[in-house]
Structure 1
């Protein structure tokens, strides 16, 4: 009875969708999402389909808050680490304009040594690196491809001190701190305002009117709260600081526009667009997290899995593909594309339990891609699609 009621609620709360996807296929997607939400107990999920670089389908399902207000295509949701891919796209524009060199030491752009800057709440504790000159080997490319050598964030260290765990550029280990450092270089070294640059170069370009790197009061009228693994609700965080690693708020309608423009290569030269999704750094671990786990023996590594710039690239039965996820205790997001046909699926969930359904739903939309789901989500038990 509970499952029947939830499925009915999903159907009633779902938004209208584009006619670009044939009705039969749209019905298949809707039915699969209803089954997924019932099986995972997820309260809210939004999905978009990109075909040949154009938005073909946008639909939202379920609730945006505990009061039962419907999740809509214009509901503001937390973008989480999808922010990193948008930031990398912005940095690539700057690189193509000659503002920054992806392979120059960050020292090139600072007016004093990194470790001489005071620790600030907005940025990382750079003074923790005093006495370790390896920071001079860091480049924008190394930071965007998660080769910094840092933990994900300094506050996750036992003593909350930032340190190098390996020489910069020598291996992959996911680090939001590395993206924050590149933001610092752009802002303190080059005098740029990263929030304004992303607004101008991305959000305005693609008509993303309900997307921002910081909280806007007008978001409050149509805002998604979140559900955690235990089904507890948490209010949406009103983020007041631009954080290149993950402060973006967006909507499924807006992010679908970005995904379509990105896969078309809009705003970049063909060379710049290709560089974003070129394998930059081999991924050598059994899973994404924990970030500093030992590397696998070479024979056990997935040879096609690598870091691009701000995202992960892989090769599968349909050829090259790429993806980026976003996650916190109440958020599960994924954006995945296959280059052939310029096809993508975007899923934003304000209930972290929905992540278990992502592989099956992505396969329904895109077919088998060969995406490294177990590497990304570790021991998560995935919904089987039934």
Structure 2
């Protein structure tokens, strides 16, 4: 009954069109343009139907193909209120945060401040790894391709004790793949020490200001309170509001589809700000993404580059990442060859149930094993 109620009150808003990021006005989804095609209208209806079918209160999506972006919004910020999602609504990006971190790390590699295969311990002696000789061997490359050997989380990342909790290795660095938020947080603290900058300030300088991302932050911004989407459980009930009081590059990015689409198109697709060979490393398999603790039939189709997942299926390689915070689910996919991309933010635990339907609507028919693979992870 809760899903039915949400479906009845949910609203779908037709798309607006724009040139690719950096080439024109920002996308908007508050009203359809007069020039909206029948195909765009059909995609809008399919998107709205997918959100309704899975009881997702609110969502944003931007699809870019052939240099043209379409922006779509759905539903409400909070199921208990009437405010509708617009193009300026902000969502928790969850682990899509890590892709921004990967780009920043590669920028520092190009600047000569960081080496991919030099242990992080050689740059900064973290108190969390001081008594762990295995962890002292972790390199930037191992963090980015998730072969650090660290757990996803040693302690809840929202616990202030995290910076004083020793890290325990699950296996020797480089031995095999295992997804780790702790690895990215260790990299963050190392880069903060290396640059003398807080993480949010570093991200603002290297990414947010560079790629026109005015609504993005790794910290909760009180000025954006009225634009914040609220997370929802699978039954449609609103989750408590979360405040990010300190940055964690593995999961605290707050952003919207406009900002993140700019990042995808300019940083990931075009490689702006990176040397061509460094940019290419993001999309070259660096680990096989086979975690013995989380086997999946989709393993054969998935590898990991430097900061992004790689799906090889249906005759093309696609880069992707998923985000999984309580009450918020997110996903993006990019064709590095053509620049076609999709970014989706939802304020519901039910978001992943709609991923394949949305991907097939916008990026074409396919099996999309990345969705199956991500569902098998912690």
* TM-score, structure 1 as length reference: 0.84
Match of 1:63 in 2: 76
Q: In structure 2, which of residues 328, 333, 336 is the aligned counterpart of residue 336 of structure 1?
A: 333
Please, what is the CA RMSD of the aligned residues? Answer: 2.5
Contact 1:334 1:346 in 2 (8 A): yes
Contact 2:10 2:57 in 1 (8 A): no
Match of 2:293 in 1: 293
- Paired residues, number: 351
Residues 228 and 8 of structure 1, relative CA distance in 2, 3 Å threshold: closer
Q: In structure 2, which of residues 228, 232, 237 is the aligned counterpart of residue 232 of structure 1?
A: 237
Match of 1:6 in 2: 7
Match of 2:139 in 1: 139
* TM-score, structure 2 as length reference: 0.86
Question: What is the CA distance between 1:294 and its match in structure 2?
Answer: 6.0
Match of 1:275 in 2: 281
Question: What is the CA distance between 1:32 and its match in structure 2?
Answer: 1.0
1:24 and 1:258 mapped to 2: Cα distance? Answer: 29
Question: What is the CA distance between 1:206 and its match in structure 2?
Answer: 1.2
Question: What is the CA distance between 1:239 and its match in structure 2?
Answer: 0.6
Contact 1:55 1:256 in 2 (8 A): no
1:325 matched to 2:322? The reply is yes
2:230 and 2:72 mapped to 1: Cα distance? Answer: 18
Match of 1:264 in 2: 270
What is the DSSP-based 3-state SS (H/G/I as helix, E as strand, rest coil) of the residue aligned with 1:103? Answer: coil
Contact 2:16 2:36 in 1 (8 A): no
Residues 370 and 96 of structure 1, relative CA distance in 2, 3 Å threshold: farther
1:109 and 1:89 mapped to 2: Cα distance? Answer: 19
Question: What is the CA distance between 1:162 and its match in structure 2?
Answer: 3.0
Question: What is the CA distance between 1:126 and its match in structure 2?
Answer: 3.6
1:80 and 1:60 mapped to 2: Cα distance? Answer: 19
Question: What is the CA distance between 1:187 and its match in structure 2?
Answer: 1.7
What is the DSSP-based 3-state SS (H/G/I as helix, E as strand, rest coil) of the residue aligned with 1:136? Answer: helix
Question: What is the CA distance between 1:354 and its match in structure 2?
Answer: 2.4
Match of 1:208 in 2: 213
Match of 1:148 in 2: 148
Question: What is the CA distance between 1:15 and its match in structure 2?
Answer: 6.0
Q: What is the CA deviation profile of residues 81-104 of structure 1, one whole-angstrom value per residue up to 9, with x for unaligned ones?
A: 100001101111111111100111
Question: What is the CA distance between 1:19 and its match in structure 2?
Answer: 5.5
Question: What is the CA distance between 1:318 and its match in structure 2?
Answer: 4.1
What is the DSSP-based 3-state SS (H/G/I as helix, E as strand, rest coil) of the residue aligned with 1:148? Answer: coil
